[in-house]
Amino acid sequence: MADNESRYRGLEKADTVVSGILHLVFSALFVVAITYAIYEGYLADDDEFVQLAVYIIFFLAILTWNHTALWFIGLGLRKQQTMHTIASGIWLHVFSVIFAALVVLAYSENYLIQDDAYLQAVINLILTLAILTWAATVIWLVQRGKPDLIRLAHPAVRYVVAGTIAVSCISFVILLLLLAQAYGSYLQGEYSWGYSVVIGIAALFLFGGAWHIARLARPRFMRRRERPFTRRGPRVLYVALCISVLAGAGSLFVSIASQSAAPVVPYQFTLEAGTSNTSVILLIGDGMGPAHMDLGRVVEYGPGTNASYDRFPHETTVSTDNIEGGTTDSGAGGTAISTGRRTQNGRIATSPDGQNLTTILEIAKQNGYATGLITICQLAHATPAVFAAHQSNREMYAEIVADMVSHDVDLLLGGGWSSSYFGPHVASMQAAGYAYATNKTGLAAIASTPALGLFASGNLPKFQDYTDASAEPSLLDMVVKGIELLNATGKPFFLMVEESAIDWAGHANDPVYAAHEMIMLDKIINHTINLAEAPGAKLQVLLTADHETGGLQILGTGGLTSPLPNESLPLAENIARRTNRTNEIQVSWSTGGHTSTEVVLAGIGPYTSQIHHANYNIDVFSLMRMAIEGKSGPVEPIGFIFQPVWFVYIAIGGIACTAVAFATLYVRDSKKQRPSI
């Protein structure tokens, strides 16, 4: 007996020393990281949310350091248990307060409600963990003062806890599989290490589950001396994490199941007589939601007036959700528009199973059309890329550029002469007959297609930064010249024009930036509608967006006093007036990312009278295809695709089996312990 007691004392001392060393090392690394962050200026951020997160990390570093100091002071005074309890209580209490403050800030900034079901699941997980951590801290402190106040001695508790852990492990695996299916395309190339991180997190979580279940099922497994309530913190926190996983995964499962009940089917538009050889101009405002359009209208024309887009005779709104039902990016959103098929975020005109999807530009070329892509971003960016490339990841720029070059697009105007983009291909394209321009003067001098214009190493300047002396052509300059060159071919043509910077303005939550870019798009809309209304024109013009960015809302325009812009004024004066007017408008943003807000689909010309039947962004493709070859729907049929809802069914089955198994074990053990009569 004495030997056992001595062995237990030795193990406890070793456990204390090892734990203390780990705490010291961890704290030292934490403080070193904080010191480095201060030196690099990372502790000061303009974003209020980021700043609070930085402060939380800073406080945790200090508290962890203090915890370690108290640990060793207590060890030296032979009051280790008391000091450990005090330090742990303080640490957990302050941690919970900070976590709650973070939740309050997130709520005030509208971060807690998201359109993306996957992001909402992660938020629900974190929110639940915050609440449970707070509750656990309160219970911890109450239990220290009144140990008998909360007693969970009922035999069923052990099975409930074990069952909760097992069910959460199943849900966690399914949650990771769903996230991998939805966003796995981002973890390629230089980010492939992300898979190792995910696998490591999953392995650690599952190991923790197996350990706690083993200890609950067999208390003598890896037995240690009886510990007071204050030493059961790891299990309490792990169970809290398990419940949080269930909350997050559960919300995602419900969302996926509800979405699967209403499958997305493209509308079958009807053939219209006399529409063969119709030219198509597709205008895409990247990140443009209805509020962005209203902002541009109010700034340029005033409240209660009409902008150029109001000239479209037919208009509706369409959903932009990706194939998982989540918030799209420009890869998936653009692919839906260019191919008529929904896909996963990050993909460029490819299906979730890697199949190349035929684009509207490819259909136009097959039907003898001239083709063109115009943008103010670098040309290998997601939106232009989805019309003339096929890749699994939007970041694969070298491969995307090679695809676009091989497509022999007649007109390519935008940015991207850097060696990372089109730079290595310029010489070969010139040798193949492409006229090449790098500035506004060079563009004006091009007389025929094929034509390549690269006016920046990457993206072109903001519209608000242009002057009369700017060497770069504006987007309007490129559109006017591009249409002139395509018309000169004598063929019908397909042209995609992207106003890229509306998206960047939304990410930056910058209303001035957004207003200027919307006004540029407004001028292009006006020009193309004029062409469509010309006598004898056979031109379809469509306006839409791949998604909305920023969650923009206009709160009030009552403070508008600055004068309206006027085309008779110098460019610099109009830019200043637009900036002043925008600053007088009250706006709000709900996020710095994309949202699932429905976007406008408007049009003029053949088939646009049927726009009101469109419900999804995939219907944009069908409208264009009808104008080009009189067919509706995607080229590739929607075949077998592993649907996310099947993962939900697997999770439900696993959870049901687990519940039955633990209920059976409890009944069996209860019978064993029941006294015989």
CB atoms within 10 A of CB 481: 21
Query: Is the separation of the CB atoms in 413 and 405 below 8 Å?
Result: no
d(CA 295, CA 585): 9
Give the phi and the psi of residue 415 in degrees, each rounded to 5: -105, 175
Is 632 catalytic? The answer is: no
For residue 346, give the nearest of 393, 379, 398 by alpha carbon.
393
- Given the residues 185, 330, 338, 632, select the one marked as catalytic: 330
Residue 350 contacts residue 392 (beta carbons within 8 Å): yes
What token pair was written down for 567? 């085309």
Please, where are the H alpha helices in 225-352?
A: 233-260, 290-301, 330-339
Best CA proximity match to 63, nearest among 33, 89, 42, 101? 89
278: number of Cβ within 10 Å:
23
Q: Are 350 and 343 in contact (CB under 8 A)?
A: yes
What burial class does residue 117 get, using C-beta atoms within 10 Å of its C-beta: 0-12 exposed, 13-18 middle, 19+ buried?
buried
Q: Going by C-beta distance under 8 Å and a sequence separation of 6 or more, which residues neighbour residue 340?
A: 266, 618, 621, 622, 625, 633, 634, 635
- Whether cis (ω within 30° of 0) applies to the bond prior to 637 is no
Measured between alpha carbons, how far is 361 from 343 in angstroms, rounded to an integer?
A: 18
C-alpha to C-alpha distance for 502 and 600, rounded to whole angstroms: 14
Task: Give bridge partners of residue 595 from the DSSP assignment.
Answer: 548
d(CA 578, CA 583): 9
Q: Which two tokens stand for residue 525?
A: 């809309």
Cα–Cα distance, 624 to 608 (Å, whole number): 10
**Do residues 487 and 493 make contact, with C-beta atoms less than 8 angstroms apart?**
yes
Strands 599-604 and 370-378: unpaired
Residue 438 identity (one-letter amino acid): T
Instruction: Name the β-bridge partners of 612.
Output: none
Largest CA distance in the chain: 106
Buried/exposed code over 282-310 (b: 16+ C-beta within 10 A; e: otherwise)? bbbbbbbbbbbbbbbbbbbbeeeeebbbe
Per the CB < 8 A criterion, the answer to whether 258 and 324 are in contact is: no
Residues annotated as catalytic are 330
